[in-house]
């Protein structure tokens, strides 16, 4: 009996020792030879996986570090990839003694030529922001996908409507033809949330394109098609939070992976606490550690493994998809030291790359805190080349909010630009009148197309990189009060059977066609006019509802005169003799000659853009 019992125990012990293990997640599952970031930390996840020992058998690749956590289901394995390692696929093996208990393939790739020297966006570009689910439904077959919690329902303003990568790719010629040179889609990564998944900001898999948009390969193909048309692809990156349905939430790597231990605690949104020398520490902590909503768990970037994971994820997508830029969401809500490390790591790898951060504040000092080159009193060293210019955005919307006589509105816009001394590089900011989180500009001006066109002209000619919102070129208006699902409405013509089609012009009214043509001509002119991209800005204080400024570079000069009044105004050139004395000009939009020897007539609610030509001997 004892012998039988011993035999049973021995067999059970052997069976336990020989049991099979499964690698449920290996992230990242690929990398590249020749990256400066050549020490890659892999997150390996599977039941009881920490009891195993990793091994690789590929020339030029070694396991240089292994970290185990309190959670036995995780291993963090660092691969050191030599510069002369051979590209190819090999297995990440996990050993139980001498036995291979689990394995997963890993792909080591060769980099595309010139990858590290890629050029990002700059003020020569014009960015087109789209909400992919609402742009074009190119493949109705992926509107609803088995295993994804939310199915398509176009009747629901807050539901999924079916827009996808196939639709975007099929209409890239429209994007390029309008004069846009960069495409910014809101997040395309998997959002397997039960509700509101269309917007993309509650990511549930950081290495996977949402299958209702398409595949990773489709995303890479879109980037290549865009580049072929002269359009770069920006990725909307979210470092601050994830979706509550992310697989991490079922098995957190560490107790501190999610702020507040994975329990909802709302942020106070007090963004000034990051720089405020008088701020109570608990207020600052509540800002950066608080959650946006119960559906968006807040990440703790102070955890070194999570910080490395997020940095590598951004590098992976840049290299994989051939990105030209990143728009980083909710920038200031993340840990400041991590943001420095993240930005530096990306620019170390891609020195000419572009990134723009979202800091939704009306204070130039608060926004400037995050831009590369800013010397901050608190010692924070920023690495972001660009920030979204929310202070100018707010002033612009107020200036064009409604037709007013006099200088009310324009003075605020003029004075906001006067704060440019606070920025290390104001010319690198991204300027905009609207985005996916605001009411549309046309609603802001109560449907006044004249004011709308003026604002478009301002964005195209003021300093910075202009960003435009999809559909506004055909006068999509939306509600006057914020209602996200209706603001992010479907692009006309993006769905079969639409009565209006922005891409072909079918069904558009005369005013819609005119607005579209106006922006197209404006942006195409801007593409070929370096002085409005990189020239210096000189502006004159608004008088009688007229705001005048110049872009100049020592060779070329462009004059812009904005008349916000409902009626025409006369402008005396003598005030601007520095640029106009002895000069001739032409109206950029009409091509008609302009004389600066007599008063200029500015139509009501108009932007007059003039090319200024200096004769021999003029200053």
- What positions carry a catalytic annotation? 329, 358
| Cα–Cα distance, 216 to 221 (Å, whole number) | 9
For the chain, the residue count is 619
Residues 6+ apart with CB under 8 A from 540: 547, 548, 549, 575, 576
Q: To 10 degrees, the CA torsion angle through 188, 516, 392, 232?
A: 40
Q: How many whole angstroms from its chain centre is CA 10?
A: 59
Q: Compute φ and ψ for 263, nearest 5 degrees.
A: -105, 135
How buried is residue 15: exposed, middle or buried, by Cβ count under 10 Å (0-12/13-18/19+)? exposed
Tokens standing for residue 63: 């396991």
Q: Give the strand pairing for 606-614 and 557-563.
A: antiparallel
Q: Compute φ and ψ for 477, nearest 5 degrees.
A: -115, -55
What is the maximal distance between C-alpha atoms in the chain?
Answer: 117
Angle at 229 between CA 228 and CA 230, to 5 degrees: 95
Taking CA atoms, 119 is separated from 50, 130, 552, in Å, by 41, 22, 25
Q: Do residues 258 and 297 lie in contact, with contact meaning Cβ atoms separated by under 8 Å?
A: yes
Q: How many whole angstroms from its chain centre is CA 341?
A: 19
Q: Do residues 262 and 297 lie in contact, with contact meaning Cβ atoms separated by under 8 Å?
A: yes
Tokens standing for residue 42: 């892999």
Taking CA atoms, 187 is separated from 205, 235, 378, in Å, by 12, 7, 32
Q: How many CB atoms are located within 10 Å of the residue 329 CB?
A: 19
Tokens standing for residue 339: 């943001």
Q: Do residues 583 and 528 lie in contact, with contact meaning Cβ atoms separated by under 8 Å?
A: no
| Count of alpha carbons within 13 angstroms of residue 521, beta-carbon side | 13
| Cα–Cα distance, 580 to 563 (Å, whole number) | 19
| Cα–Cα distance, 405 to 287 (Å, whole number) | 41
Taking CA atoms, 50 is separated from 253, 281, 571, in Å, by 11, 37, 76
Residues 6+ apart with CB under 8 A from 96: 17, 18, 21, 51, 52, 53
| Cα–Cα distance, 36 to 348 (Å, whole number) | 8
Q: From start to end of 1-151, where are the E strands?
A: 25-27, 30-33, 39-45, 53-55, 61-68, 74-81, 88-96, 99-110, 127-130
């Amino acid at each position: 009996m004892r012998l039988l019992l011993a035999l049973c125990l021995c067999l059970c012990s052997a069976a336990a020792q020989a049991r099979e293990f499964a690698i449920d997640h290996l992230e990242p599952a690929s990398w590249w030879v020749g990256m400066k970031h050549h020490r890659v930390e892999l997150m390996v996840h599977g039941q009881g996986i920490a009891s195993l020992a990793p091994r690789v058998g590929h020339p030029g690749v070694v396991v240089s570090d292994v970290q185990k956590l309190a959670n036995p289901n995780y291993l963090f394995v660092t691969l050191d990839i030599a510069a002369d390692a051979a590209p190819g696929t090999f297995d990440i093996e996990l050993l139980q003694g001498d036995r291979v208990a689990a394995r997963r393939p890993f792909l080591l790739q060769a980099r595309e030529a010139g990858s590290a020297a890629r050029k990002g966006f700059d003020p020569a570009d014009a960015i087109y922001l789209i909400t992919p689910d609402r742009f074009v439904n190119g493949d109705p077959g992926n509107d609803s996908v088995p295993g994804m919690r939310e199915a398509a329902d176009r009747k629901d303003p807050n539901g999924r409507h079916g827009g996808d990568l196939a639709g975007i790719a099929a209409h890239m010629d429209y994007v390029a033809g309008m004069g846009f040179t960069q495409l910014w889609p809101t997040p395309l990564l998997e959002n397997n949330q039960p509700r509101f998944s269309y917007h993309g900001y509650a990511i549930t898999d950081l290495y996977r394109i949402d299958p209702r948009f398409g595949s990773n390969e489709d995303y890479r193909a879109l980037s290549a098609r865009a580049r072929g048309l002269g359009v770069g692809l920006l990725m909307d990156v979210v470092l601050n939070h994830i979706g509550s349905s992310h697989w991490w939430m079922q098995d957190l790597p560490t107790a501190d992976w999610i702020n507040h231990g994975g329990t909802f605690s709302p942020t106070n949104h007090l963004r000034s606490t990051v720089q405020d020398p008088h701020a109570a520490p608990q207020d600052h902590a509540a800002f950066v550690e608080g959650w946006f909503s119960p559906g968006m768990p807040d990440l703790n970037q102070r955890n070194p493994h999570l910080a490395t994971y997020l940095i590598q994820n951004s590098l992976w997508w840049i290299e994989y998809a051939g990105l030209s830029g990143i728009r980083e969401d909710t920038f200031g809500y993340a840990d400041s030291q991590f943001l420095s490390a993240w930005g530096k790591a990306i620019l170390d790898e891609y020195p000419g790359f572009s990134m723009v951060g979202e800091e939704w504040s009306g204070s130039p000092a608060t926004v400037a805190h995050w831009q590369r080159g800013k010397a901050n009193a608190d010692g924070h060293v920023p690495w972001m080349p660009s920030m979204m210019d929310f202070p100018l955005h707010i002033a612009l919307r107020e200036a064009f909010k409604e037709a007013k006589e006099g200088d009310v509105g324009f003075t605020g816009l003029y004075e906001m630009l006067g704060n440019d001394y606070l920025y290390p590089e104001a010319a690198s900011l991204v300027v905009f009148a609207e985005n996916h989180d605001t009411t549309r500009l046309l609603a802001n001006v109560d449907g006044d197309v004249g004011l709308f066109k003026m604002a478009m002209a301002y964005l195209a000619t003021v300093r910075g990189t202009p960003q435009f919102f999809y559909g506004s070129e055909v006068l999509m208006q939306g509600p006057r009060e914020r209602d996200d699902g209706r603001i992010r409405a479907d692009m006309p013509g993006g769905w079969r059977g639409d009565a209006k089609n922005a891409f072909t012009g079918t069904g558009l009214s005369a005013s819609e066609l005119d607005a579209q043509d106006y922006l197209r001509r404006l942006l195409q002119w801007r593409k070929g006019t370096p002085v409005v991209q990189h020239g210096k800005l000189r502006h004159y204080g608004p008088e009688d509802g007229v705001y005048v400024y110049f872009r100049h570079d020592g060779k070329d000069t462009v004059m812009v005169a904005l008349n916000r009044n409902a009626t025409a105004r006369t402008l005396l050139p003598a005030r601007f003799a520095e640029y106009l004395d002895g000069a001739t000009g032409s109206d950029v939009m009409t091509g008609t000659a302009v004389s600066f020897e007599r008063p200029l007539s500015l139509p009501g609610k108009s932007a007059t853009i003039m090319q200024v030509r200096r004769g021999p001997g003029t200053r």
